[in-house]
Amino acid sequence: MTAPSTNDLASRLQGLWLPLITPFRDGELDEASLRRLVWHYTAGPVDGFILAATSGEGMSLRAGELERLVTLTRSELSASRRHLPILLGLSGASTAKMLDVLDETATWPIDGYLIASPYYIRPSQRGLVQHFTALADHASWPIVLYNIPYRTAVSLSNETLLQLAEHPNIVGMKDCGADRAQSIDLLARRPSGFRVLTGEDAEYHDALVDGADGAILLSAHLETEAFASLRTLLRQGDRDGARACWKELSRLTRLLFAEPSPAPAKYWLERSGLIDSAEVRLPMVEVSAELAALLDEEIERRTPQLLRRA
């Protein structure tokens, strides 16, 4: 597979991207459910997939499972005859070990990487620049930065992001910084061609209003068309329509993050028949009985036929 140029990926790094959940059954990767998921979302208004990131429980996957996940997803996309880009989620606290992972995945059928900051170590901004520069210099595929300080315990400052944005192999970022002022400042100062997608489901509407290029949303596993429509309404200048759409969607995002993600989304997807099991891997656990009842109420309100079949 020929590696895309950074410009190719940057041009496609916009719109609605899905951080695909990884289905499990009896402790193993559920390949049938994975194929069903990919086929389903390929037919909808999704602009790309993220595999094995936070929503995909990537840190719980064995090396062989990770490669199988990528291979099956690409195979299903090829069968659908719709070439959607795939980003592989990676994370790690050691630059040297991350370089090894980049070597191991260099020939996989992906289009780029989504790489989080090193967790636990809490490096300086200078250390973050050197870390990501080393990865970008080495990677066979373009890199999208993932700023999520409430998981990694370190935040990429805008000065660091702007410096990294000049690297020819770094094309954009997933913004989970949870700081709207910082995001607005970055959007105003970023270089041409550097894409910014929000990863904060609860901030989807505001991020698009502020100028983000799109979003990577766990919630878009459900009501996918409505999430895509909100962006269309804003691009058409229909802010009242977008606010009305968001008022309905924001209730869904609150429920899906009422307990650690992706367990609530997996519960809903199982009830809808898209996956065969809501199983997650420890230390993640399935949703509580209390949240399951609330999710059932919302499923009944939105798609009552699902529970009647159950």
Per-residue pLDDT of the chain (310 residues; tens, 9 = 90+): 344 455 689 999 999 999 999 999 999 999 999 999 999 999 999 999 999 999 999 999 999 999 999 999 999 999 998 889 999 999 999 999 999 999 999 999 999 999 999 999 999 999 999 999 999 999 999 999 999 999 999 999 999 999 999 999 999 999 999 899 999 999 999 999 999 999 999 999 999 999 999 999 999 999 999 999 999 999 999 999 999 999 999 999 999 999 999 999 999 999 999 999 999 999 999 999 999 999 999 999 887 654 444 4
Helices and strands counted in the chain (H then E): 14, 10
CATH 3.40.50.450 for domain 6-236, yes or no, is no
Q: Is 55 annotated as a binding residue?
A: yes
d(CA 306, CA 28): 26
In the residue annotation, 146 being an active-site residue is answered as: yes
Q: Is 60 annotated as a binding residue?
A: no
d(CA 110, CA 90): 13
- pLDDT score recorded for residue 126: 98
Domain residue spans of the chain: 6-236
- pLDDT score recorded for residue 298: 94
In the numeric block, which tokens belong to residue 223?
Answer: 């009501």
Note whether 156 and 191 are within 8 A (CB): no
Select which of 174, 204, 266, 267 is catalytic: 174
Select which of 97, 113, 119, 146 is catalytic: 146
Contacts of 139 (CB under 8 A, 6+ apart): 102, 106, 113, 169
- pLDDT score recorded for residue 81: 84
- pLDDT score recorded for residue 5: 54
- pLDDT score recorded for residue 3: 46
In the numeric block, which tokens belong to residue 58?
Answer: 């990537």
Tokens 């229909």: give the residue: 238
Output the pTM of the full model: 0.95
Residues β-bridged to residue 214: 15, 197
In the residue annotation, 174 being an active-site residue is answered as: yes
